[in-house]
Amino acid sequence: MLPWNRGVPMGRAVTTPPTSLPQQERIILPLPRGETPLVRVGDPVSRGQRVADGNGDPLPIYAPVSGTVAALDTMELAAGGSCLALILQNDGLDTAADPLELPDDEDALWDSGVRLPGGRPLAQAVTQAAPGLDTLILSAMDREPWHCTEDAALCLDADAVGAGLAFLNRLLHPRRTLLAVGAGQHQAAHAAAPLDCTVMTVPQRYPLSHPQLLAESLGRLPPGQPPQEGDVLVLPVSAVAAFGAALQGTPPIRQRVSVAWKRGHALIDAPMGAPLSAILEAAAAPDGPLLLGGPMTGSPLRHADGPLVPGITSLCVLPPRRHRNGTPCIRCGRCAAVCPMDRQPWLGIGHCLHCGACRYVCPAAGYTPSKEEVLL
């Protein structure tokens, strides 16, 4: 079992009804994994229509709005690189295609087009787990402080979570199905009560919501062993909800994005392909350096002109950086006190999650954010 007293105390954003993004005139759908367009410039499209296809990792892409294909052009991605993209002109009519119909086997996972936070296909994670899985763990805990996407998925989409979970249980036949919620997620715990799983309460200390740590603490995975090698599968509730919605006929054409900054946070419901700048504007977020993800492990975004793509579930706006001169390690032991893996970071020995907890408490780091700056 993990030492639950380790890690950094974690603030949590309270889930409120999301703000819907106003209609966007143009929607940009990148094809970064070699997806094949199924439409041409000038073609009309309906909301929910399959507009790009692929095999394996390139999943199908569905139109989030109705309108016309305005262009098929190369675009620059906000996180770096470029790719071909479909550009849709929104007609504002919201004409819907026929409801999505998925097969009754594992192909449904691929045809749904659902990706995990970060972009990995849900189908890839599930199909790597063999039937007869020991432990299936759904996590309603957000990976970073002050984000609430996973909490919202369970609180607001419990029916879709139930549909996705029923399919996964039937496909994988796990010996145990668990749902991890934080100690303060009372609304989520209530929403989980009707689901076919056992609800497990986890202390809200960062980074105890990390999939590796949940697999070790709840799935009895040996320390340091990857979950996929230990007969344990950990999935975020948001992806299971999106898959459940696809089973019910609605493909993943919208996504909730949790936006956090020094003195606030917001939850925005937006169509895929909407500009990230419009999401930040709807959140009333201040200007500042942008992170894709949270303040502890997020990666920098060069600009907010890029579109919302599957896998982007959280954004963070940082305050101006405060630089200080670094000093050598003073052997104070603070890093060891918070390390969830019970290692000695200054020695570089043992399994590391790269969670940043040691950097957060280190008084000798070249740059250590203040408590307010990391939103705790």
Parse the chain into domains and list their residue ranges. 8-13+100-247
Sort strands 254-261 and 264-271 into parallel, antiparallel or unpaired.
antiparallel
pLDDT, tens digit, 9 for 90 and up, residues 122-144 = 999 998 887 779 999 999 999 88
pLDDT value of position 320: 74
pLDDT value of position 82: 84
296, 289, 299, 294: which is closest to 355 by C-alpha? 296
DSSP one-letter string for 222-265: PTT--GGGTTEEEEEHHHHHHHHHHHTT--S-EEEEEEEETTEE
> In the structure encoding, which two tokens stand for residue 350, read together?
């043992």
Residue 251 above 80 pLDDT?
Answer: yes
Q: What is the mean pLDDT of the chain?
A: 87
**Quick count: other Cβ atoms within 10 Å of Cβ 37?**
18
pLDDT value of position 332: 85
Evaluate whether 307 touches 274 at the Cβ level (below 8 Å).
Answer: yes
Residue 321 binned pLDDT confidence (cut-offs 50, 70, 90)? low
Q: Which residues of 77-134 form beta strands (DSSP E)?
A: 82-90
102, 109, 150, 159: which is closest to 129 by C-alpha? 109
Which is higher by pLDDT, 195 or 345? 195
Residue 373 above 80 pLDDT?
Answer: no
pLDDT, tens digit, 9 for 90 and up, residues 35-49 = 999 999 999 999 999
Q: Which fold has domain 8-13+100-247?
A: Rossmann fold (3.40.50)
Residue 217 above 80 pLDDT?
Answer: yes
pLDDT, tens digit, 9 for 90 and up, residues 84-134 = 999 999 999 999 999 999 999 999 999 999 999 888 999 999 988 877 799
Contacts of 208 (CB under 8 A, 6+ apart): 2, 4, 7, 10, 141, 202, 214, 217, 340
Q: To the nearest whole percent, how much of the chain has pLDDT over 90?
A: 59
Please tell me the least confidently modeled range out of 96-100, 206-210, 357-361.
357-361
Query: Is the pTM for the entire model greater than 0.75?
Result: yes
Residue 375 above 50 pLDDT?
Answer: no
- The rounded distance, in Å, linking the Cα atoms of 256 and 267 is 7
pLDDT value of position 262: 85
